[in-house]
Amino acid sequence: MKFSADQKRTIKNYILEKISQNTKSLSKTVAQTFGINPSTIHGYIKELEEEQIISRIKRDEYRLVSYETVYDLSRSAGDLDDDTYAFDACLIEHIRSFENNIKSIWNYAFSEMINNVMDHSMAENVRIIIYQDYLSTRVLILDNGIGIFTKIKDYFHLASIDDAICELFKGKLTTDTKNHSGEGIFFTSRLMDDFYIVSSGRVFTNNKYNDSRIISLASNNYTGTGVFMELSNFSHKTAKEVFDEYADIDGCFIKTSIPLKNIFDSSPVSRSQAKRLCNRLDQFREVVIDFAEISWMGQGFSHQLFVVFANEHPEIVITPVNMNEEVTKMYNHVKM
């Protein structure tokens, strides 16, 4: 069977995806998926080897060829005077061949994170590590500054580091209102396929993290701030569509989404937890509360959020999503 160039590319990308997932019996798995002869798959794998996209470990087991590049920047050397310098010096060559939508996302995300280092961290040194293979690009930014969660906690006089992380999820949070909108981390975390901030032994992420580098940084109680970003080299998402999801017709940032699983270690139960969650939500017109992986919620938490706060702010639309049966029962109970 002769495949078109697009079909062949699809099969090759599927092979690479399965390699990245450490799939056993690679050739057989791919052949069964597409209903083609395993010898054809072997031919495609050989081509990927010759193109140095993958390397062979042993029979029918391969890995993606990955490259790591390290850059060290210094404030005293003037490297942190301008975010465009860091972008041009460290990242642009790694993404130059990508589609415009991907370059645009990286330009925004990288610049926002470097600006945070420049203006907030008080760091003298920054290390930027770029990990890249055929499928994705990953960027780790490490600074030796004050630590982002500590900075937010102290500036806003919050009770704990966890409260500082909770505030980050909402967006519109900045310790420098004159020069920053407080939107950079919020939108970057949603533009990336994976996004983590590590500091003070804690992790901010929209995902459930399992990356060994991130776990290591958290467990070592890293004193500065580590930011990890990953994006597919073939992503179809655009910055505009992500911005539009949280903006009104005039482009104003009016909507936020809060994943409770990343804020609470267990199901939320108390009014005090709800009050901390509701802090600054009056800056938005739409609030999505994501209950994914939350098994239940207490009556106090539910009543404070969906009755007390909702009645005090009737202009704000609060939408719970991904509620299981138990959470739904409590929601309906307090709303009756």
Is the residue at 147 inside a domain?
Answer: yes
Report the candidate in 236, 258, 243, 12 with the shortest Cα–Cα distance to residue 102. Answer: 236
Q: Where residue 216 falls among pLDDT bands split at 50, 70, 90? A: low
CATH number for the domain harbouring residue 300: 3.30.750
pTM of the model as a whole? 0.78
Residues 140 and 157 in one domain: yes
Mean pLDDT of the chain: 86
Q: Tens of pLDDT along 241-275?
A: 888 877 765 557 788 888 888 788 788 888 988 99
d(CA 2, CA 157): 66
Is the residue at 248 inside a domain?
Answer: no
d(CA 182, CA 91): 23
Residue range 221-239: mean pLDDT, rounded:
88
Residues 85 and 164 in one domain: yes
Residues 161 and 202 in one domain: yes
Question: Does residue 66 have a pLDDT over 90?
Answer: yes
Looking at 188, 204, 239, the residue that finishes a domain is: 239
Sequence-distant (6+) residues with CB within 8 A of 46 are none
Q: Which residues pair with 194 in a beta bridge?
A: 230
Q: Are 218 and 202 in contact (CB under 8 A)?
A: yes
- For residues 207 and 326, the model is more confident at 326
The pLDDT score that the predictor gives to residue 329 is 94
- Whole domain around residue 313: which residue ranges? 254-335
The pLDDT score that the predictor gives to residue 250 is 58
Residues 196 and 327 in one domain: no
Q: Tens of pLDDT along 268-288?
A: 888 988 998 998 898 888 999
Question: Does residue 210 have a pLDDT over 80?
Answer: no
Residues 46 and 90 in one domain: no
Is the residue at 244 inside a domain?
Answer: no
- For residues 220 and 317, the model is more confident at 317
Structure tokens at 39: 């010898």
d(CA 71, CA 50): 29
Kind of pairing between the strands at 125-132 and 61-64: unpaired
Is the residue at 247 inside a domain?
Answer: no
Residues 49 and 11 in one domain: yes
Residues 218 and 86 in one domain: yes
Sign of CA dihedral 310, 311, 312, 314: positive
Residues 56 and 99 in one domain: no
Look-up of token digits 């004193």:
223
Q: How many domains does the chain have?
A: 3
The pLDDT score that the predictor gives to residue 94 is 97
Residues 220 and 279 in one domain: no
Which of 25-34, 197-206, 290-299 has the weakest average pLDDT?
197-206
Q: Maximum distance among all alpha carbons in the chain? A: 67
d(CA 113, CA 121): 11
Looking at 211, 239, 267, the residue that finishes a domain is: 239
Q: Tens of pLDDT along 143-168?
A: 999 888 888 888 888 888 888 888 88
Report the candidate in 178, 335, 168 with the shortest Cα–Cα distance to residue 258. Answer: 168
d(CA 216, CA 253): 34
Residues 233 and 262 in one domain: no
